Structures are given as structure tokens and as C-alpha cells.
């Protein structure tokens, strides 16, 4: 069945398609597979029931996720003020908790140890996609550097945004995200992974941090579920995100699309392969890869909000 709302040439559509597969394959439909239609790059789901049969269950699961360890992770205002940048106070909520991915290394390490001792492998898979234990912010050297897909800044906190999205998702949101068209009719926070909706302050008349964005919670939620396929590793104190490269403010993200139905395990292996964009047409054909897309990552000077540029074939 075609997921006509998910365009694989858009980072959000690609990530959401993988998130759908991960949710199905890790739970009710382990045999499910995913491909993309050549030319249109529409996501296609194989060996899975119709979306309308499981959309209510997916919405209920999202709503119940807000207290799970990988969404509930936080550190205190005091810890942030002690170790992070001077503006960390603006990132803390009134109750003193920061629901973001820039904790002091010791706090992150203790959280990882706790997940390991509890054998919570699902939460651990997200934690390893949030950051690398030894990857530090280059400007201070005192806080963890998050995934390159961390596009929130200022008063908008990554996990706080995800919690709001999870709590807000409805069956209708999921049907809209997967079948389209995307209407952006919900006043819900966004992860800003949609390459068709830029928040580049230099191109805007107003500061985006002061706006209440109209989001697409169904697509954002499933895209978040894809994160474990894009772990962060460290090289020295540098954090490296799977499928991403370049500097923090001027980086890029690249991703493959394939026409042959693939399992979650196969896709996990595929996105980890280096130099996908350098493969010859024959190499891609042998591996079932139709195309590799690339989208630039830019971050505003005012606050550091991230955004994807238009996708192009790598």
C-alpha cells in the first residue's frame, strides 16, 4: 500500500516512513517491509494491514509514550547553569527541569548506566541516537553535543517538543500524515525536519522563536521513532551523526531510497554504509538503491534554530 503522504525526497517524509516501519516491525507486524516508488519517491508499505486498521493503536501508543525513559529524560536548571552556556537559564522550565539533549557529560553517563542496568533496550536505542557519551560541545567542552538532527533552540527544547507532539497525536493526525495532503493545521510544536518549511531567520521578517508553529504531529512523531537507525558516535570529543556530516552550522544530511521492499534490519544496515552518494550507478543497482538525496543543514545566528534546505540528488 502506498503511503501517499510520505515523500521520500523530503527528510521528514523519509524519516517518517522509516518510523512507521520501525513501529510496525518492532511490534504488531514484524514481517512488514518498506520501499519507495521510483520517480515519485512515495513510500510503499508491504506485508502490513491497511493504515486505518492500526492508526488508532499507533495514536494511543504515542499518547502513552510521554513518560517513557527516552522521552522523560531531563536535567535540572542548576546542572545546566553550572555546566552549560550562559543562556541555559532561558532553556529551563519554571520547575527547574530541562527536557533537552545538552546535559553535562556526567548526567548523560549516569542516565545511560541506569538504562543499561534496567535492560531497557528501546530507551537505550534512542539514547544512543541522541548523543555520544564522549561527544562534547566544541564551544564549551562542558556539555554533550546532541545529534545533528537537533534543530530546536532557545526556549524550545527537543524532548519537550517531542513530549508535546506525542501527547497531541490523534488518529486523524496519523491518517493525514500517511495519506496526505499535509494541512499543517495543528498548533503543535515541530521538530523542523520538513525541508519544505524553512525557519531561516535571515529570510524571515520576524524571529521564528516567537512564533507558534502549525505542525504535522503525525509525521513528526513517526520521524522521531526513526532516530534509533541514526546513532551518534564520537571521534575524540567530536560527535558524528549517522548520515550527517559537515559543521554544526553548515552541515548536510544524506539518505538513500530503494525500490526493492526492505526489512527494518536491512535498512538499518544500509543507512550505516559510508559514501553512499559516491556509489556508481552499477553499485547502487546491485544494492537495490534507486537514488541518494542530500539536504543541507543550516542554523540561524539568532538562537541556532536548525532547518533543512531543499533536497537534491547527491
Q: What is the pLDDT of residues 230-283, one digit of tens each?
A: 999 999 999 999 999 999 999 999 999 999 999 999 999 999 998 888 999 899
Q: For residues 73 and 153, which has the higher predicted lDDT (pLDDT)?
A: 73
DSSP 235-267: ETTEEEETTEEE-SSEEEEEEEEESS-B-HHHH
First-residue to last-residue Cα distance in the chain: 28
Residue pair 127/115 in contact (Cβ under 8 Å)? The answer is: yes
Residue pair 186/168 in contact (Cβ under 8 Å)? The answer is: yes
> What are the tens digits of pLDDT across the range 108-123?
999 999 999 999 999 9
Strands 289-299 and 306-308: antiparallel
Mean pLDDT throughout 14-43?
96
Eight-state DSSP code of residue 186: B
The pLDDT of residue 225 is 99
CA distances from 305 to 156, 177, 194 (A): 9, 24, 13
> If pLDDT is split at 50, 70 and 90, which confidence band does 209 have?
low
Residue pair 6/222 in contact (Cβ under 8 Å)? The answer is: no
DSSP 44-61: EEESS--HHHHHHHHHHH
The pLDDT of residue 62 is 98
Angle formed by the axes of helices 51-63 and 171-179, nearest 10°:
130
Mean pLDDT throughout 113-142?
94
> What are the tens digits of pLDDT across the range 76-107?
866 665 554 444 444 444 558 999 999 999 99
Residue pair 115/124 in contact (Cβ under 8 Å)? The answer is: yes
Task: Give the domain ranges of the chain.
Answer: 2-67+158-313
Please tell me the total number of residues recorded for the chain in this structure. Answer: 314
The pLDDT of residue 89 is 42
Has residue 24 got a pLDDT over 90?
Answer: yes
Has residue 2 got a pLDDT over 90?
Answer: yes
Residue 181, preceding bond cis, omega within 30 degrees?
yes
The pLDDT of residue 155 is 84
The pLDDT of residue 131 is 98
Has residue 28 got a pLDDT over 70?
Answer: yes
Mean pLDDT throughout 24-50?
96
- On whether the pTM is more than 0.75, the answer is yes
Amino acid at each position: 500500500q502506498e503511503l501517499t503522504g510520505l515523500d521520500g525526497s523530503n527528510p521528514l517524509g523519509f524519516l517518517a516512513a522509516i518510523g512507521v516501519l520501525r513501529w510496525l516491525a518492532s511490534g504488531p507486524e514484524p514481517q512488514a517491509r518498506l520501499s519507495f516508488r521510483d520517480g515519485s519517491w512515495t513510500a510503499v508499505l508491504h506485508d502490513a494491514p491497511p493504515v486505518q486498521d492500526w492508526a488508532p493503536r499507533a495514536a494511543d501508543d504515542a499518547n502513552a509514550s510521554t513518560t517513557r525513559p527516552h522521552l522523560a529524560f531531563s536535567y535540572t536548571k542548576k546542572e545546566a547553569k553550572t555546566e552549560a552556556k550562559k543562556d541555559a537559564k532561558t532553556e529551563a522550565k519554571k520547575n527547574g527541569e530541562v527536557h533537552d539533549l545538552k546535559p553535562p557529560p556526567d548526567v548523560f553517563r549516569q542516565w545511560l548506566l541506569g538504562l543499561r542496568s534496567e535492560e531497557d533496550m528501546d530507551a537505550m536505542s534512542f539514547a544512543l541516537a541522541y548523543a555520544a557519551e564522549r561527544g562534547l560541545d566544541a564551544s564549551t567542552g562542558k556539555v554533550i553535543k546532541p545529534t545533528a538532527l537537533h534543530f530546536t533552540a532557545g526556549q524550545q527544547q527537543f524532548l519537550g517538543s517531542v513530549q508535546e507532539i506525542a501527547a497531541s497525536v490523534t488518529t486523524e493526525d496519523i491518517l493525514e500524515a500517511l495519506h496526505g495532503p499535509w494541512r499543517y493545521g495543528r498548533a503543535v510544536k515541530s521538530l523542523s525536519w520538513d525541508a519544505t518549511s524553512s525557519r531561516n531567520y535571515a529570510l524571515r521578517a520576524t524571529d521564528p522563536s516567537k512564533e507558534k508553529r502549525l505542525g504535522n504531529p503525525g509525521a513528526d512523531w513517526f520521524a522521531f521513532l526513526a532516530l534509533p537507525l541514526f546513532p551518534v558516535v564520537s571521534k575524540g570529543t567530536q560527535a558524528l551523526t549517522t548520515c550527517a556530516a559537515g559543521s554544526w552550522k553548515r552541515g548536510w544530511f544524506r539518505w538513500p531510497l530503494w525500490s526493492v521492499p526492505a526489512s527494518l534490519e536491512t535498512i538499518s544496515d544500509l543507512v550505516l554504509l559510508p559514501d553512499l552518494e559516491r556509489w556508481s550507478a552499477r553499485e547502487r543497482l546491485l544494492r537495490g538503491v534507486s537514488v541518494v538525496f542530500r539536504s543541507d543543514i543550516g542554523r540561524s545566528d539568532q538562537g541556532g534554530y536548525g532547518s533543512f534546505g531543499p533536497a537534491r540528488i547527491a
